[in-house]
Structure 1
């Protein structure tokens, strides 16, 4: 039976004899009544309340662990795990073309449908995509099904990633957005690491280039479906209460028309965000080159699997470093923003400079799919260690870039509605760039041209982002500022009787 108790600063909260709070409300804030707001102690470990940002982001991370995490493990092998990458290239072109549209307007669907149903529907597309790849291994007459599966995944992924991004940058407080990214990105990419261990274990003795086994595809399909089901157990954003008692800023009863207008209002509210669009475009442009033109083209099956595992392990490391560094409270947020921009520029020059030295050693016509006499690189080949570290740092760079972009967007607003629109722009533009690059790769663009396009685009996008970083990222964004241009009031987004900071008004 529940009873009233006082914890720490005298805050009255509803507890039961077997429930304890880990993240107590700060100040004089009480959590709402109900099971969603009761912390637990399980096996000696304190667990925050179910509707807390930490628990909900953890659940979303595991959804992504099982869905896009496994997709990344499969794609990281090059060609979707197949020897010839044409099928996967065509599917990914369809995927990212559709993703661009639904990612761009994804915030509209998230605000309308809620994060739970948006994520659950999004997870289904990953299963069908893996099924299509498996079917294509056994039949050459399923080209239409492959394209439909890629297109459907574009719809599903656009919705899933917009919902995920909205949660990641709007649920936590300002001082925790970097570490929340680190937690999410670490769990999500652990899915790709574990997924990469599946083909590595099955193909450990294969020093030639071959398609992964049926068992590998089936394992991915089952795990992806599990992720879609897990999403149904999430809370919607209206139920989330932060430790300081504040809630996520949402729009009341949005109509489709008002949500589309919201996209325009987002640009009107902060037109400088347009200068981040080149960073959005570049953020998945380099993936095609890395997984197809480096890993898929140069290595045998077991080494491709090992490279993929290392690539995503590097992402976990980078997410932890950047996520926590971006939340160092003793350094003002505006200073942190300028610092990370400089670090990204240095990484771009160093890592891609090393990549240029390696790219000069081969061309598209001399690789495992273009020359019958070509012997793919194995991890026992002399000189492998150097390129192994290069590919590791490609993964490190990917996570560093994504962490910075998400943090930049989160620094511009704490509003759930506006964040959904920012993420919608991000995922839409990112996917449009990816669709173009997958199409170019399918058209056999030279590896040198692919590489140069990456290095140039990444460098230019950092220069374009500089005005946003220097002029628009503030040390704090108030709730009142976030409500500009919306129909919301403070009374709609804060607990009754409480101020923006979470204390009694």
Structure 2
């Protein structure tokens, strides 16, 4: 991590650039009065941490969320099982590989340009689904899987580092809730389209190839929003604190940090949780409220958050297993949305899609509680994303093998949660009472004040 050097201290006199790094003070990292007086409103809005998080959330909706929506509509369903399996295998393999090495890559080129590279690849997957649906062009699906694996990995790592870094310490839960809700809105969009096609009782609907053009347009919108991302050192949080960044490391040192990160207690103890967290198929703001409660220590909030997520997930799993057992005993056939059995059948699926994002939102909040600087958040996020990708691949493989007995999937997921709980409790009980990066920022501010008074 970068130490405090006199050459790194911002000069407040004679500066031609009234950016946050030129208006620091001791108390909060940024002299907000001077900042407001010297920086135009449009620039202050642009550099605000909430604006940057909203820009990321828009990208999450245009990219991963739209990918989920397109997949849910079944454009790839016209591919043969072999092509579909090859495409998914390539996507997950490259996603896991590039996430593993993503930390050094993103720290070298910067979060902004990593997001730009990833956003530029979003429309490729959508166009592949369109071409397959309209022309039966299946080789393009395989090609898009490779490009998507690389581009999405680059974007995921940058996104993970950003979402864990931007928020002020007292609002991390709410910021993460905003992002995770945007990230999962794609399923709502896909579901709404499916409902519009199938709202007549007993009728089956389909999606025309031209429907995918709308999704491709939305995916293209992510790129300009990625270009609006500003470097961390120019971001101003709502509480006036600044983001602690480290010096750029050599490629050799970054590679060494990979091994250190992957073998750290933080990653080792959260690995099973990461695998489990993507085994779900929005109450994230409620969890965000719990994680941001100022009258509790960070460790206590981490403990309450963990038990809240686990209890909700266990409840949903038990409900789902009961319903599946009933269906195994008496197969009700197709259930229409006007049938009396529909609410009790649909609600478990709905809550699985809610508690899954809760689990991820909580994990990113917890990881950010250990960070000493923005670059460490990127490395930790890359490690977590890599393990998530492995979990996705395993879950996909299980789905192809357990279609005859869904209870197997439920039981494996339940067991994985149980296995993950012990290490997570150990990790949560070591959560620092304050974010190390915040403590370091205060120490640097105190050192800066001492130098300025000499």
Normalising by the smaller structure, the TM-score range is 0.7 to 0.9
**1:39 and 2:41 matched:** yes
2:131 to 129, 132, 135: 135
Query: Which whole-Å deviations, capped at 9, do the CAs of 1:443-466 have from their partners, x for residues lacking one?
Result: 555423222211111221122211
Does the aligned pair in 1 maintain the 2:369–2:432 contact within 8 Å?
Answer: yes
Q: Which has the higher helix share?
A: 2
- Equivalent residues of 1:29, 1:504 under 8 A apart: no
Q: Which residue of 2 aligns with 1:296?
A: none
Question: Per-residue displacement from partner, 1:334-364 (whole Å, max 9, x unpaired)?
Answer: 111111222223223211001111223557x
Indicate whether 1:97 and 2:97 are aligned.
no
Q: Report the 3-state secondary structure (helix = DSSP H, G, I; strand = E; otherwise coil) of the residue aligned with 1:50.
A: helix
Please state whether the residue corresponding to 2:294 is helix, strand or coil. Answer: coil
Q: Could you say if the C-alpha distance between residues 240 and 50 of structure 1 is closer, same or farther in structure 2, counting changes exceeding 3 Å?
A: same
Please name the residue that 1:20 is paired with.
Answer: none
Determine which of 143, 154, 157 is the counterpart of 1:159: 154
In the TM superposition, what is the alpha-carbon distance from 1:322 to its structure 2 partner? 0.6
Deviations 1:139-186 (A, max 9, x none): 44x433212211211111111121111111112222221111012223
Given candidates 318, 327, 336, the residue that maps to 2:301 is 336
Q: CA 1:414–1:239 in structure 2 vs 1: closer, same or farther (change >3 Å)?
A: same
Contact 2:96 / 2:390 at 8 angstroms: preserved in 1? yes
Identify the residue that residue 315 of structure 2 maps to in structure 1. 350
Q: CA deviation at 1:206?
A: 7.9
1:241-287 residue CA offsets vs partner (Å, 9 max, x unmatched): 3345543233323332222222233356x424311000111111333
Residue of structure 2 in register with 1:435 after alignment: 393
Whole-angstrom CA distance in 2 between matches of 1:205 and 1:465: 46
Give 1:285's match in structure 2, choosing from 273, 279, 283: 279
Query: How much does 1:197 deviate?
Result: 2.7
CA–CA distance in structure 2, aligned partners of residues 211 and 414 of structure 1: 51
Distance 1:85 1:350 in 2: 37
Q: How big is the shift at 1:215?
A: 2.5
Question: Are residue 463 (structure 1) and residue 422 (structure 2) matched?
Answer: yes
* 1:188 and 2:183 correspond: yes
CA distance in 1 between counterparts of 2:29 and 2:102 reads 37
1:178 paired to 2:173: yes
Deviation at 1:319, TM superposition (A): 1.0
Distance 2:122 2:407 in 1: 31
Q: How far does the alpha carbon of each residue in 1:216-254 deviate from its partner, in whole angstroms, 9 at most, with x for none?
A: 211111100111232112112232233455432333233
Aligned to 1:415: 373
Distance (whole Å) between structure 1 residues aligned to residue 388 and residue 338 of structure 2: 36
Q: Residues 362 and 212 (structure 1 numbering): CA distance in 2 closer, same or farther, change over 3 Å?
A: farther
The answer to whether the 8 Å contact 1:81/1:211 transfers is: no
Distance change in 2, residues 1:233/1:404 (3 Å)? same
User: Over residues 377-423 of structure 1, what are the superposed CA-to-partner deviations in whole Å (9 max), with x where a residue is unaligned?
Assistant: 22022300111211221112112111111111011115211111111
Greater mean deviation of Cα atoms: 25-34 or 425-434: 25-34
Q: Secondary structure at the match of 2:215?
A: helix
Residue 243 of structure 2 corresponds to which residue in structure 1? 248
- 1:392 aligned to 350, 356, 363, which one? 350
**Alpha-carbon distance, 1:94 to partner:** 2.2
Q: Normalising by structure 1, what TM-score? A: 0.75
Paired residues of 1:240 and 1:248 also in contact (CA < 8 A): yes
8 Å contact from structure 1 (residues 83, 209) kept in 2: no
**Residues 251, 57 of structure 1: CA spacing in aligned structure 2 closer, same or farther, 3 A cutoff?**
same
**8 A contact 1:283–1:430 mirrored in 2:** yes
Is the alpha carbon distance of 1:54 and 1:359 closer, same or farther for their aligned partners in structure 2, counting shifts above 3 Å? same
Q: Note the C-alpha offset of 1:439.
A: 2.7
SS at the partner of 1:214? coil
Q: Report the number of matched residues.
A: 428
8 A contact 1:114–1:237 mirrored in 2: no
Corresponding residue of 1:108? 104
Rounded to whole Å, the distance in 1 between the matches of 2:259 and 2:357 is 29
Residues 1:67 and 2:63 are matched in the alignment: yes
- Once residues 394 and 406 of structure 1 are traced to their aligned partners in structure 2, the CA distance between those partners, rounded to angstroms, is 19
Structure 2 gaps of 5+ residues are 1-11, 16-24
Are 1:80 and 1:88, in contact at CA under 8 Å, matched by a contact in 2? no
SS in 2 for 1:212: coil
1:474 to 432, 446, 452: 432
For the residues of structure 2 that align with 1:408 and 1:480, how far apart are their CA atoms? 15
More displaced, 353-362 or 83-92?
83-92
Correspondences of 1:44-63 after superposition (within 5 Å) = 49-63=45-59
Instruction: Give the C-alpha shift of residue 114 in structure 1.
Output: 1.4
CA RMSD of aligned residues (A): 3.5
